[in-house]
Structure 1
Amino acid sequence: MTTVAVVGGSGYIGGELLRLLLGHPEVELAAVTSTRLAGRRIDTTHPNLRGHTDLKFVEPDALDKYDAVFLAVAHRTAMRMVPGMVARAGCLVDLSADFRLRDSGVYQRYYDTEHEAPQLLDGFTPGWPERYREQLREADRISVPGCTAMAGMLALYPLAAEGLVEPDVTVDARTGSSGSGAAAGNVNLHAERSGAMRVFAPLRHRHEAEIAQATGLRVRMSATGVEAVRGVQVYCRATAKDNADESTVRQAYRRHYGDEPFVRVVAYRSGGYRYPEPKILSGSNYCDVGFAAEPGQVVAIAALDNLVKGGAGNAVQCLNIRRGWPETTGLGFPGLHPV
């Protein structure tokens, strides 16, 4: 069995990692850290795991060496921990923002702080299976994209790669409350969030830099918090080039995603579920992508569960590739409907 540890297991992403890893047939979950909750059972924080584990949280300093370590801590914290964690992990999978951007100057612009380990940035392989599958097979350091970034990248990459759109695009993102994390503060209390559609990043959303880096497009992104708990949906508007009619766009998506286990092209002319919807993806590792096209413009749409394909599930998918297991191992849950 492959031994794994989760660093930062008390948050929403950490909890989702635990759920997936405890059900993974090739993995032994050996340790879970939380400085604040050390000594407590993990099922007191993640009650859905009752009956599935007797593990308790431990201090990060108590970690041994493991075949893989998942780092699910906040940005700024991760870049301080990574140098010490490299020696403990055969494969280090970072779910923070600290090693997603290759340019430390871009990181400083979007995160308002200087990167403390810029010498390590080039050593991380992007945790994007649909594009970096071959590199992930031998990667010892993996940086998993952000949730809205993953949706935007999957929506736009086929259009960018095949030269079907002009470079300037806008991305409008909608996200559920779990995207703010388990320690988001009073502004995310139910009394404040319920019924709200809160614009929280009208300019310079942090994930716009990731999408731009991944696609080569000039991206402008905004984000709105909606009442859902889970889910991300992105709506990407681009100017189509002359060769980008509906048939050409559909063929581009099929070429890029036709054989992908976790990306589905959803763009139908009729029916109740014509375009990607995050609600039906809750708990699943799928990202649904769709589009609408007419002369002069293309709108690309993507939806995913921000905690799964937008985080923990994508990280497990990367580990599956790295260890040579079937890519879908431990990730077969299809989502719920109705929910």
Structure 2
Amino acid sequence: MLFKGKKRLNAGIIGGAGYGGAELAKLLLFHPRVHLTFVTSRRYAGKQISSVNRFLTKVTDLCFIEPDIEALPLDTDVLFLATPHGISMKLMPDIVKVLPRAKVIDLSGDFRLKNPHIYRQYYDTEHTATDLLGRFVYGLTELNRENIRSAQYVANPGCFATGIILALMPLFSCDAVRREVSVVSVTGSSGAGEMHKEVTHHPVRAQNFKSYKILEHQHTPEIEQFFKDRFRNWDYEIGFVPQSGPFVRGIFTTAMAYNEAIHTDTLKATLEQLYKAERFIRVVNGSPEINAVQGSNYVEVSGMVKRNFVISMSAIDNLVRGASGQAVQNMNIMFGFEEHEGLEFPGMRP
């Protein structure tokens, strides 16, 4: 289904009250090829979206509606699922029946993993829509573009997974990893969602720094799955330690391997080969910076080799590139739009 000319597609969001859903609504409201027709929220049904997300005041008069799949507009062209993990898999069977032609982009983790047993291991719940797992395409845009182009259903990558895969891809592409690679990713407080909890409570978070879910984060298997699908006989260990940083938005990733046979020129050439032509990926000298990509769909990446340590880094905005922005980028590809439409904001500094 390709949209040509000036026709705008009808889009809807299931679960639009959280940080990711609000960011997605903002992007779609300003997208030149999209008409955002509805946003659901069980908690805020009947209330104006701008009363919950004040930054959308005078931007839209839309009100939240109940997430009743059977009552959704039948002319919906694309549906975004911005729900917590475990919800999308319960909704999809009804979506397939009620909106059989609609394209779906799921921002949760429910359809990223092909193996339901691994899903149960990392998400601590049984998968209830295993028959649909094979119909979803993994939406790491720059590295899976052609499969996304022909997909009806896309599983948007996790925020950590996005930054980590883009940082690791150069290392695996130039054979810098021998057996294992260490990854540390630091995320801001918005990654924990908009519900009040201890990990986002300002007095606790503002001047604190800690690791969590050490070597067992739920994004680990989707990263491993991606590289197993990408490289033949891929069999490496990824040691991923997520960390909580004292800032609001962004994820900074550092991936490091040890290999005396790799030189800086090799790594930099690989980075250029992979990403130079990509609109939203900036290959930078020195270190990437979170501030330079804040609020945008852009990614900064860089690499260096010192004392036989091969290092690759990335910086993303977790709510845009790590969620809503990448979802819109995937939508653009799925409908034949220019990939950058609605995503031109370059970030800001400071």
Which band: TM-score by shorter chain? over 0.9
Corresponding residue for residue 263 of structure 1: 281
Q: Which runs of 5+ in 2 are unaligned?
A: 1-7, 229-235
Identify the match of residue 267 of structure 2 among 220, 245, 249: 249
Q: Distance in 2 between matches of 1:241 and 1:115?
A: 44
TM alignment of 1:72-91, pairs within 5 A:
72-86=82-96, 87-88=98-99, 90-91=102-103
User: How big is the shift at 1:46?
Assistant: 1.0
**Number of residue equivalences:** 331
Code of the aligned partner of 1:75: H
Query: 1:185 aligned to 2:203?
Result: no
Range that drifts further, 213-222 or 64-73: 213-222
Corresponding residue for residue 26 of structure 1: 33
TM alignment of 1:1-339, pairs within 5 A:
1-61=8-68, 62-65=71-74, 66-86=76-96, 87-88=98-99, 90-216=102-228, 217-240=236-259, 242=261, 244-266=262-284, 268=285, 274-294=286-306, 296-338=308-350
Q: Distance in 2 between matches of 1:70 and 1:316?
A: 9
Q: Does the 8 A contact of 2:170 with 2:312 survive in 1? A: no
User: How big is the shift at 1:198?
Assistant: 2.6
- TM-score, structure 1 as length reference: 0.94
Q: Distance in 2 between matches of 1:120 and 1:171?
A: 31
Range that drifts further, 231-240 or 78-87: 78-87
Q: Does the 8 A contact of 1:108 with 1:115 survive in 2? A: yes
Code of the aligned partner of 1:180: A
Runs of 4+ in 1 over 4 A off after TM superposition: none
Q: Does the 8 A contact of 1:245 with 1:295 survive in 2? A: no
* Two-structure CA RMSD over aligned residues (Å): 1.4
What is the DSSP-based 3-state SS (H/G/I as helix, E as strand, rest coil) of the residue aligned with 2:167?
Answer: helix
User: How big is the shift at 1:162?
Assistant: 3.6
- TM-score, structure 2 as length reference: 0.91
Deviations 1:216-248, CA, capped at 9 Å, x for gaps: 442121111111110001111112362x21111
Code of the aligned partner of 1:203: L
Q: Does the 8 A contact of 1:156 with 1:215 survive in 2? A: no
Q: Distance in 2 between matches of 1:95 and 1:136?
A: 14
Code of the aligned partner of 2:194: A
Percent sequence identity over matched residues?
A: 39
Counterparts in 2 of 1:103 and 1:278: CA distance versus 1, 3 Å: same
Deviations 1:177-229, CA, capped at 9 Å, x for gaps: 00000115233221221111132222311112122112244212111111111
What is the DSSP-based 3-state SS (H/G/I as helix, E as strand, rest coil) of the residue aligned with 2:247?
Answer: coil
Code of the aligned partner of 1:189: H
